[in-house]
Amino acid sequence: MTLDDTLDRWHDMVARRDMSDLPQIIHADAVFRSPVAHTPYPSRDAVVLALSTVLTVFEDFRYHRQFREGSDAVLEFSATVDGRSLRGVDLIHVDDDGLITEFEVMVRPLSGLQALGAAMGQRIGAQLTGFKDA
């Protein structure tokens, strides 16, 4: 599987709003870097939990542009959370097998980031914290 294959599968899952196949494209030792937490969340399960949940939080989510080089991609997006508009980027790195090893999210403005952090915290805050302690 190549980076392009992985991104095609990712975009298909997002379009269908169905993350059931997500574990198939995430490496077992992948890391999720949240825009609201300094320390990354390790493990496939943490990445799957965060990405599956954020799609239920985002309203009118849409990707705009995509940049790729080697094993890395940057996906620019916009969405609304609790009436707050935001823009952001997903920074994705894949290994030689095309599996995602790092998924980092950056979001602006601060009001959108705060709304996102609050919504995610309510839904999965305790669960995600458990991955850091494992």
Per DSSP (E only), the strands in the chain are 26-33, 41-42, 59-69, 72-81, 84-94, 100-108
Per-domain boundaries in the chain: 3-129
Q: Give residue-wise pLDDT tens across range 86-103.
A: 999 999 999 999 999 999
**In the chain, what are the helix, strand and coil shares in percent, each to the nearest 5?**
40, 40, 20
**How many residues in total does the chain contain?**
134
**Residues contacting 16, CB < 8 A, separation 6+:** none
Q: pLDDT tens across 62-83, in order?
A: 999 999 999 999 999 999 999 9
CATH number of 3-129: 3.10.450.50
* Helices 44-57 and 110-133, axial angle in degrees (round to 10): 150
pLDDT for residue 61:
96
Q: What are phi and psi of 37, to 5 degrees?
A: -130, 140
| pLDDT score recorded for residue 48 | 97
- pLDDT score at 131: 76
The pTM of this model reads 0.93
